[in-house]
Amino acid sequence: MKRFSLPDLGEGLTESELVSWRVAVGDHVELNQVIAEVETAKALVELPAPTAGVVTRLHVEPGTTVLVGEALVDFAPDGETAPSPSVPEADTVEVDRPSGAVDREPVLVGYGPRTASGERPRRRARSVGDDAPAPAQTAPIAERARPRATPPVRRLARDLGVDLGTLVGTGIGGRIAREEVERAATGLSGQLPERARGAGAAPAVTREAPATAADGSVRRPITGVRRRTAEAMVSSAFTAPHVTEFLTVDVTPTMSLLDALARSPRTGDHRVNILTVLAKAVCIAVRRTPAVNASWDEGAGEIVEYGHVGLGIAAATPRGLLVPNIARAEELSLFELADALADLVRTAREGRTAPAELRGGTITISNVGVFGVDAGTPILNPGEAAIIALGAVRRQPWEFEGQVALRHVVTLSLSFDHRLIDGAQGSRFLVDLGTMLSDPAMVLTMV
Write out the catalytic residue numbers. Answer: 418
Contact 178, 167 (CB under 8 A): no
Cα 226–227–231 angle (5° rounding)? 120
**What residue type is 327 in one-letter code?**
A
Dihedral of CA atoms 9, 12, 15, 17 in degrees, nearest 10, equals -60
Contact 387, 379 (CB under 8 A): yes
Give the residue among 379, 395, 246 at the shortest CA–CA distance from 323. Answer: 379
The neighbouring-strand residues paired with 321 are 316
Q: Could you tell me whether strands 311-317 and 363-366 are parallel, antiparallel, or unpaired per DSSP bridges?
A: parallel
The neighbouring-strand residues paired with 20 are 37
Contact 323, 358 (CB under 8 A): yes
Contact 98, 29 (CB under 8 A): no
Q: Which helix (H) or strand (E) holds 257?
A: helix 252-263
d(CA 109, CA 97): 17
Q: CB neighbours (10 Å) of residue 96?
A: 16
